[in-house]
Homo-oligomer: A and B are copies of this chain.
Amino acid sequence: MKELEQYIESYFGIAHLDALQTMSQMFKPVKLSKGDFYLQTGNYCDKMSFIRSGLLRIFVNNDGKEVTQWISSKGYFITDLASFIFDTPARWTIQALTDVEIFTINKQNYQKLGEIVPQWHVLEKLFIAKCFIFLEDRIFSHLSMSAEERYQHFFENNKELFHQVPLQYIASMLGMTPETFSRIRKKQLS
């Protein structure tokens, strides 16, 4: 299962061959159909996954309005980190936007990694730290950029996404309405 090993390596920086092999045996390939839920708000998230293909949306229903937190794709992982790590009810709902292939590890096996893989907790820490820094960037974009600038910045780095998912989700993720998004988009195209 060479492919999964590559994911693990790029996520956690593990180059050790036997550790890689041990790890990849603990992940199970899973398929989701478009529309399937990976997780629903209020449930306990006892798994995390690498995305092999497809797109998943992380959102929450906020007084009848859906707030999209992120759209995750190949090269990202997926889980509700708070729920997964601290055993709290999940804040987020996660749903497949397309057919999806993921590699999933359950919490029980995940915890075993600490016993099996040398330096696992260090690698895990670095991984979560990267997630933290990623969010720090997003906060900064809300403190210092207009809707239009956030659009441009995101578009530069995620062009593919714009013809793969309903644009209203991207709008929400960037903190603007679909109408504003549409108008900015029009301006950018011309």
- Interface-located stretch among A44-52, A134-142, A178-186: A134-142
Distance between A50 CB and nearest chain B CB, rounded to angstroms: 18
Question: Is A188's CB within 8 Å of the partner chain B?
Answer: no
Among the 9-residue stretches A22-30, A33-41, A98-106, A119-127, the one with 4 or more Cβ atoms under 8 Å from chain B is A119-127
Q: Is A189 an interface residue (CB 8 A)?
A: no
Cα separation A143 to B139 with both chains bound (whole Å): 10
Contact with B along A123-162 (1 / 0, CB 8 A): 0111011011101101110111000000000000000000
Nearest CB in chain B to that of A135: its residue: B135
A67: interface (CB < 8 Å): yes
Secondary structure at the A interface, as helix, strand, loop or mixed, is helix
Which residues of chain B are within 8 angstroms of A132 by Cβ–Cβ distance? 81, 128, 131-132, 135
Looking at chain A, what size class is its interface with the partner chain? 20 to 34
Contact among B69, B114, B139 with A122 in the assembled complex (CB-CB below 8 Å): B114
Among A62, A67, A82, A128, the most chain B Cβ lie within 10 Å of the Cβ of A128
How many copies of the chain does the oligomer comprise? 2
For the complex, is A89 an interface residue (Cβ under 8 Å from B)? no
Determine whether the beta carbon of B128 is less than 8 Å from that of A69.
Answer: no
Q: Which residue of B lies closest to A141 (CB)?
A: B142
Q: Mark A59-74, 1 if CB is under 8 A from B, else 0.
A: 0101001011100000
Among B82, B91, B133, B175, point to the contact of A81 (Cβ < 8 A). Answer: B133
Q: What's the nearest-Cβ distance from chain B to residue A167, in Å?
A: 16
Contacts of A15 in B (CB 8 A): none
Give every chain B residue within 8 A of A82 (Cβ-Cβ): 129, 133, 136
For the complex formed, measure the closest distance between the CB of A104 and the CB atoms of chain B, giving whole angstroms.
20
| 8 A Cβ contacts from A76-129 to B | 81-82, 85-86, 91, 114, 121-122, 124-126, 128-129
Please tell me if A32 contacts chain B, counting CB pairs below 8 Å.
Answer: no
